[in-house]
Amino acid sequence: MSPVDLAALDYGTFPTEPTPFEIKVSTDVDIYALESRRMLDFLISPYTVDPELRYLRETSILRSGTDTLNDLTPEEFVPIADKNFFVSGVATGRSNNSLRTFKDTVVGLMRFGTDAYARTAAAEFNAFTESKTPSRRKVELAGYTDTYAGVSPDQERAQLYAAHGPYVIVAAIQAPATEIDKTREHLKRILDLQSAALNDVTPTLPDEMLDLPTNPDGIVNLALPSEYQSGVAYDDSGAFSAAAHTHWEYDAAAIPDYNAYGVDLVARNNAIVYRTAGVSQAFALQNVLTRPSKYDKEFDGPPGLADARCVHRDETSPLFEPYYCVVVYDRYVALVDDMGFGDLPSPELFQSTSAQYAILAGSR
């Protein structure tokens, strides 16, 4: 690591010391959202089903009666979920980013009050989908019960609903009709992988959800704090396991997991902080996080932070800002992003990156 003179850095008005973080839990929906976050640990990625689906489109906490995700959970599913005592849920979607042969898959997990309610919900989700598309073609998935899958008449869309204990596995696939055989295979693979991931899972009892860890080892204290924080059901700030946080990585081919870096915890707030196994692994992760895509551009980082690496993303997305910097201190890697003006990053990006470095340096 290059030496840094903390006194010479420009922090603007950003804090330079760790800020105590306490997740906001004020409603039943927030309490159930704590379990939803835990469910990210065992939610599978569409990338493991189809390696062409590299690019993140969404990762969401599902909240009873409020969330709809296009083909995955249309608004008509809300009363079905509610009457079957929906508890918690998560979903993640990825695509191939191709304009010519667009492919997209969203996989979700929904937990209900009992195994019986989950079976009823799966059947009713499918019944609604059948009623909406009368000519939908059923797909047989051998070896599974309480499982429903079908393909649209144009063979470009497919849905899956499968009960597994108190959970319902839900999936929606969009792919060219010429790949209908692959689509059927992918429905089966989703079911196989997600069922296997659920086999050893024990659902958290409702009265134990408040005991789920939200800031282990004070990891979130090390991330640049947000000025505003909403309830846990509406905010992704907090601590996540390595398995959970991979669902927020934009390119799954670049970072399918964190095994090579020994990441065991990730904090999300106004910055993302990764805890790796050591300094060499931290720099290796920084290299991957800042590897520019074809039309991305690297630019010089904040004055005084020689090891900082910064990138202007060509890709636009509501999931991230176009300019970001990544710094390393000891075993920690921090990513800070912000908007820009034309081809220039905002001045606040350099100030917030410097502040994030100071927080890490001052906490060790």
CATH number reported for the structural domain that contains residue 45 in this entry? 3.40.1000.70
Q: Residues with Cβ < 8 Å from 279, sequence gap 6 or more?
A: 1, 328, 330, 331
Number of domains forming the structure of the chain:
2
Q: Specify if 206 maps to a domain.
A: no
Which of 63-67, 333-337, 347-351 is the least confident region? 63-67
Examine the domain organization and report whether 34 and 10 are in the same domain.
no
Element (H, E) at 312: strand 309-312
Q: Specify if 65 maps to a domain.
A: yes
Examine the domain organization and report whether 102 and 87 are in the same domain.
yes
- Give pLDDT tens digits for 114-130: 999 999 999 999 999 99
Provide the residue range defining the domain that includes 304. Answer: 6-23+214-363
Q: Specify if 208 maps to a domain.
A: no
pTM passes above 0.75: yes
Choose one of 198, 230, 248: the last residue of a domain: 198
Examine the domain organization and report whether 228 and 159 are in the same domain.
no
Place 223 in a pLDDT band, splitting at 50, 70 and 90: very high
> Can you tell me the distance from the alpha carbon of 178 to that of 197, in angstroms, rounded to the nearest whole number?
30
Please give the pLDDT value at position 317. 78
Residue 334 one-letter amino acid: A
Burial of 364: CB neighbours in 10 Å, binned 0-12, 13-18, 19+: exposed
Closest CA to 332 of 270, 287, 283: 283
**In Å, how far are 131, 244, 294 from 257, measured between CA atoms?**
39, 10, 22
Examine the domain organization and report whether 155 and 80 are in the same domain.
yes
Examine the domain organization and report whether 355 and 234 are in the same domain.
yes
> Can you tell me the distance from the alpha carbon of 203 to that of 3, in angstroms, rounded to the nearest whole number?
47
Examine the domain organization and report whether 142 and 261 are in the same domain.
no
Examine the domain organization and report whether 125 and 167 are in the same domain.
yes
> Can you tell me the distance from the alpha carbon of 118 to that of 160, in angstroms, rounded to the nearest whole number?
14
Examine the domain organization and report whether 261 and 237 are in the same domain.
yes
Query: Which range among 75-79, 273-277, 292-296 has the greatest average pLDDT?
Result: 273-277
**In Å, how far are 156, 159, 194, 289, 336 from 148, measured between CA atoms?**
17, 8, 15, 39, 43
Examine the domain organization and report whether 18 and 67 are in the same domain.
no
